[in-house]
Structure 1
Amino acid sequence: MIEKFATVHWEGAGKAGKGAISTQTAALKAQPYGFATRFENDTQGTNPEELLAAAHAACFSMAFAFAAEKAGFPTASVDTKALVRLAPEGGGFKIDRIALTLDASVPNIDEAKFQEIAQGAKQNCPLSKALASVPEITLTATLRK
């Protein structure tokens, strides 16, 4: 089994509060976040949805590369974007959609097989499974020739 961790330190209440996110590998080290980085497009920090998008795109990309290789089609390059939407719900918010966009170069594969592998990777990547409560997870996959 593999376990990874991240930590958060938060000070203050709600809208006025500030936090710092750190990861085990120090890829993020006291990265700031707060109300403005989450809801007001302040780019001087990060936010949970951006981190979730990065994690999902990374997980899906690896799942696709491994699945393509297992099917006999090693990937040349894989680029994935994940767009996470935070929508109002009642008095709070919820993540109601994640849109994955894959652009990949896979030599010697036909379009049908490419789409089949991409959809399988979407279903089977660990982050997709963990995010199963998100009502809509879409995938647009483009085979780059």
Structure 2
Amino acid sequence: MSPAELLQAAPWVCDNRGMPRQFEFADSEISRIHRTTEGCSIEFSAALISERQGIETQRRYSNGLRLVLNPCPPALAHEAQAFGLLASGWLQLGEQRLSTLPVPSDFQAETLCLQLQFANGLQLQLGGNSLRCETSAQALQVELLAC
């Protein structure tokens, strides 16, 4: 990557205070949940990402975000129906409830629980001991256009 490309990409990685981008569960859209050799892959077609730029917070959608939960739950109930808009969601780590996750991030715990509440009413609760939040290098970013 050239220095010019690095400078252009840098704002997508960190804001001017070194804070990572934040993935927000609410208003993000899951395209599919499936098993992989890495664990349970939760892929987003539109993940809401926020980041500070100067004094402003920019919010954009990314099509390349993925959560990987390990180990994969033995039975993924409602796996085929688990796609679409999220009304809310969070990662439960003991007493800590995270509705936003740094991008990228890696959480390890004896037990953690991922809660997903879909706009259509479907609720999923997935347990594991590690969760990774990552983005694809080819991810496209789309600005929010509010009227």
TM-score if structure 2 supplies the norm length?
0.25
The structure carrying a bigger helix percent of its residues is 1
Find the structure with the greater CA-based Rg: 1
Give the structure-1-normalised TM-score. Answer: 0.25
Which of structures 1 and 2 has the larger relative contact order (alpha carbons within 8 angstroms, sep 6+)? Answer: 2
Structure with more of its chain in strand, by fraction:
2
